[in-house]
Amino acid sequence: MDGTREARVETSDKGLKQNAIGFLDALIIGLASTAPAYSLAAVIGLVVVTVGAQAPAVLLASFVPMFFIAAAFFYMNRADQDCGTTFSWVTRAMGPWAGWMGGWAICVTGILVIGSLADVAARYTYLLFGLEGAAGSKLAVMTLAVIIIAAMTAVCVIGTELSARVQNVMIIAQVVALLLFAGVALFRVLGGSAPETSIQPELSWLNPFAIDSSTALIGGLLTGVFIYWGWESSVNLTEETEDSDTAPGRAAVLSTVILLVTYVSVTVAVVAFAGLGQVKEFADDDAIFSTVATGVLGSPWDKIVVLSVLTSALASTQTTILPASRTTLSMARARAMPAALGNVHPRFLTPHVSTIVIGVLATVWYVVVNTLSENFLFDTLSALSLMIAFYYALTGFACAIYYRKELTKSVKNFVFIGVAPVVGALILGFLFFRSIVDLANPEASYSGGAIFGLGVPLVIGLGFLILGAILMVVWRFAGDHERFFHRRPEVVHPDIAAGRAAPPEKI
């Protein structure tokens, strides 16, 4: 009987279980991947230091390129439902070399950040239970973080449905807690029961043009890219989602809008209740929510916000594994990576080999780097902006190039498939090169150190991109991989662009 039930399970061409999750599951996974509570806690102090009360405006401005790139993900996914997303799409539009580098960037971002997310989850777990001593112990935090990575890797291997169920619970915990926190904080500010340091919110806080310094605005945008990053995880599950040609893309676009509302409302509430002075004290400390929450909600209700940050980091630890493992699977099936990474578990119908490999590499990177220096781990996070801007920009350009013959057929096509993705890509491309300039300064790093006279974050970011280029060349000439590297750029078929035909053959 079990064999009959399993025989009826439909799988994609890569062996993944089709229709495993629905639109709402995909949306939740996209939101969870951004770790909204943790991301905002980690950067809100830094943004306030950079632009003052215009912090909400920076998060509003950062939304623009994210929304434009989300549009590119929507239209590219409509044409090609491949779990490799950027890798597959850029390969089709711009050729295999650019596609390989886009896929490599996605894999590396996952490996670099998973350990940091697990570290936060571990520390906040101890704080939730009042174990301040353990929270301050590097060994205790590292041990629990490694356990968390292993557990979340196992969840990803066991199945996409289980991953979705876990995320459904955790996203509610963090978003509801954040909005409750923001609502109570604003109510107390407007009602006059907030501390003396509180300030009345103003509409000018939402105006990015009120920021006097272009340097400050650009610095804020670089930070904003990081906190919005991750929404595309829903599209990486496209082959496992119902209505795969539209649902994952819609989930990606909607998740950016929900993040905008959450980020702006919470930032306004925190700045108004705590005041600029207190918020600036947390420029490099993600404990701002747990501190301010005590004043807003009182004890023990402040633990709700601590739980929010905990579940945020925990959820993102799991969901960040998904895009990296699916991209690796897609690259392996296209013969752009070792074939073993393309294996799918016969029972769970998940890419178990690539998932485990990503989990192991993330663990090794985290343990080695954190053992050397905690500041070096923070420098790793700073380097992420380079990787993120790089593959997002590639996707934006790829969308316009792939649909180039369709852009003049309607105003909608021209604006949403051409102009918006290209503008988003240009903004992110500018931020990529601006990051190189800013991160080149050793003083811009947490460690304050220099390698070859350059800041550590820049060396990490560019170092991994250069390593990727080297590995790509080695792979090209190390074996029989002509089928992939001899591919030529394509253009979308008119019927596919109009939704009247099946997707193109997988690469």
Answer yes or no: is pLDDT of 4 > 50.
Answer: no
Q: Which position has the higher pLDDT, 164 or 352? A: 352
When the pLDDT of each residue in the chain is averaged and rounded to a whole number, the result is 85
Answer yes or no: is pLDDT of 365 > 90.
Answer: yes
For residue 493, tell me if it sits in a domain.
no
Q: Is 301 helix (H, G, I), strand (E, B) or coil?
A: coil
For residue 474, tell me if it sits in a domain.
no
- Residues 461-481 have pLDDT tens digits of 899 999 999 999 999 988 777
- Residues 263-287 have pLDDT tens digits of 899 889 888 888 888 777 776 667 7
Q: Please, where are the H alpha helices in 192-213? A: none
- Please give the average per-residue pLDDT across 201-230, as a whole number: 83
Exposure of 162 by Cβ count < 10 A (0-12 exposed, 13-18 middle, 19+ buried)? Answer: middle
* CA dihedral over 379, 278, 48, 223, signed as positive or negative: positive
Q: What is the CATH number of the domain that holds 147?
A: 1.20.1740.10
Distance CA 76, CA 395 (A): 9
**Number of folded domains that form the chain:** 1
For residue 420, tell me if it sits in a domain.
no
- Residues 307-337 have pLDDT tens digits of 888 888 887 887 888 899 999 999 999 999 9
- Give the long-range contacts of residues 293-299, CB within 8 A, separation 24 or more: 293/181, 295/195, 296/181, 296/184, 296/185, 296/188, 297/181, 297/184
| pLDDT given at position 1 | 37
User: How does residue 507 score in pLDDT terms, banded at 50, 70 and 90?
Assistant: low
Q: Is 201 helix (H, G, I), strand (E, B) or coil?
A: coil
For residue 447, tell me if it sits in a domain.
no
- Please give the average per-residue pLDDT across 432-442, as a whole number: 83
| pLDDT given at position 251 | 92
Q: Is the peptide bond before 195 cis (omega within 30 degrees of 0)?
A: no
Answer yes or no: is pLDDT of 504 > 50.
Answer: yes
- Residues 116-133 have pLDDT tens digits of 889 888 988 888 888 889
| pLDDT given at position 505 | 65
For residue 76, tell me if it sits in a domain.
yes
> C-alpha distances in angstroms, 448 versus 116, 200, 495?
19, 37, 55
| pLDDT given at position 2 | 44
Q: Is 429 helix (H, G, I), strand (E, B) or coil?
A: helix
| pLDDT given at position 7 | 47
| pLDDT given at position 318 | 79
Answer yes or no: is pLDDT of 414 > 80.
Answer: yes
What would the two tokens of residue 99 be?
């596609």
- Residues 157-188 have pLDDT tens digits of 887 676 666 667 667 777 788 888 888 888 88
| pLDDT given at position 434 | 86
| pLDDT given at position 163 | 65
Q: Which position has the higher pLDDT, 11 or 200? A: 200
Distance, C-alpha 107 to centroid of its chain: 12
Distance CA 253, CA 428 (A): 17
| pLDDT given at position 5 | 40
* CA dihedral over 62, 63, 68, 71, signed as positive or negative: positive
| pLDDT given at position 397 | 97
- Residues 86-106 have pLDDT tens digits of 999 999 999 999 999 999 999
Dihedral over alpha carbons 437, 439, 444, 445 (to 10 degrees): -170
For residue 186, tell me if it sits in a domain.
yes
Structure letter (DSSP) for residue 335:
T
- Please give the average per-residue pLDDT across 448-468, as a whole number: 84
For residue 68, tell me if it sits in a domain.
yes
For residue 105, tell me if it sits in a domain.
yes
Q: What percent of the chain has pLDDT over 90?
A: 36
* Residue 155 domain boundaries: 18-374
| pLDDT given at position 374 | 66
* CA dihedral over 6, 9, 15, 18, signed as positive or negative: negative
- Give the long-range contacts of residues 414-423, CB within 8 A, separation 24 or more: 416/71, 416/75, 417/71, 417/72, 417/75, 420/67, 420/68, 420/71, 420/72, 421/68, 421/69, 421/71, 421/72, 421/75, 421/395, 421/396, 421/397, 422/396, 422/397, 423/65, 423/68
Residue bearing tokens 């549009």? 71
For residue 314, give the amino acid letter.
L
